[in-house]
Amino acid sequence: MSFKLGFIAVVLAVSARADALHEHFNAQQAYAYTAQIAGFGERWPGSPGHTKTETLIHQVLQKDGARIEADDFTATTPRGPVAVHNIIGKFNVSTDPNQQIFILAGHYDTLFQKGFIGANDGGSSTAILLSFADALAGQKTKMQIWLVWTDLEEAINAFTGDDGLYGSRHLAQKLRANGTQSRVRGFFLLDMIGDKELGVARETESDRKLQDFIARAAGQLGYGQYFFQYEVGIIDDHVPFINAGIPAVDVVDARFGRMGPEFDSMGEFHHANTDTMDKVSQRSLEVVGRTILLTVELLDR
């Protein structure tokens, strides 16, 4: 009897560990979330699609037992004041004031462009984070895991001066100002990772050591060919966090469709109204989702 009880206790202890976090990633659901979000239409701040996306994020976080926090403010932009809503879902918050934090982030707004639905750019990043929430539900990690949906990543006019990255700049500055930044072990930004022709760039401003952890996880899963086969520097939501002293990686597919002088520098479908669900694949979401969660497991040991 006592042996049996002991055995049950061991089984429970093992099942509560985060060793298999990546096995809890549901790619089919991630694809379904992407389709649902793309179906909301344009999702620039203030649009009905943006509000529907916020509601979905809150619903999933509540279902998954996250601690939900808001980072709301009004941004001064070339189109006047814009209400910005960063959404944070925290998992495994302990009572230890020095508990390390790991942040997984992605933007949920889309470009201010008529007819642009951003299935990949905005849709896939929002969706993969929702699936991370589902995977984290009931899984124990030593680190506190924050899922952060950044708002108003897209520039109103162009990525020059202070246009663009509004939400991430606000949150990064807040973390530095209140001292939380020193507890953040790392920050991964997911961007355009639903691309059917998946190829994650070795983004040149990103933290090399953390990229090497991602490469190790990808290698263990047999996904090595999808990561770091080319180098490029990208202005993205990771930059304000690097500037705040946080090691950060932009996990970005920077070649979306055909490349060439006749196309956008990030590919023919980038910021084009052809960024639709037929350019997204469940397999790509699976490769990136499992790899990133295994990387978190490696860093959590």
d(CA 113, CA 293): 33
Helix, strand, or coil (residue 252): strand
Whether residue 62 contacts residue 55, with contact meaning beta carbons closer than 8 Å, is answered with no
Whether residue 109 contacts residue 151, with contact meaning beta carbons closer than 8 Å, is answered with yes
CB of 152 to Zn ion, least distance (A): 11
Q: Which residue has the tokens 């279902």?
A: 63
CB of 81 to Zn ion, least distance (A): 22
DSSP classification of residue 95 = S
Applying CB under 5 A, the span of 10-18, 70-78, 113-121, 233-241 interacting with Zn ion comes to 113-121
Site residues (CB under 5 A) for Zn ion, limited to 117-146: 121
CB of 111 to Zn ion, least distance (A): 6
Which residue lies nearest Zn ion, judged by its C-beta? 121
d(CA 33, CA 103): 21
Which one, 34 or 144, has the nearer CB to Zn ion?
34
Site string for Zn ion, 68-107 (x = CB under 5 A): ----------------------------------------
Which one, 71 or 264, has the nearer CB to Zn ion?
264
Whether residue 276 contacts residue 38, with contact meaning beta carbons closer than 8 Å, is answered with yes
For residue 2, how many other CB atoms are within 10 A of its CB? 6
Q: Which residue has the tokens 């961007």?
A: 191
Which one, 24 or 43, has the nearer CB to Zn ion?
43
Site string for Zn ion, 27-66 (x = CB under 5 A): ----------------------------------------
Q: Which amino acid is at 4?
A: K
Interface with Zn ion (CB under 5 A), residue total: 1
CB of 190 to Zn ion, least distance (A): 13
| 228: its two tokens | 């770091």
CB of 70 to Zn ion, least distance (A): 23
Strand order in the sheet with 248-252: 67-77, 80-91, 144-150, 101-107, 184-191, 248-252
Q: Binding residues for Zn ion, per CB under 5 A?
A: 121
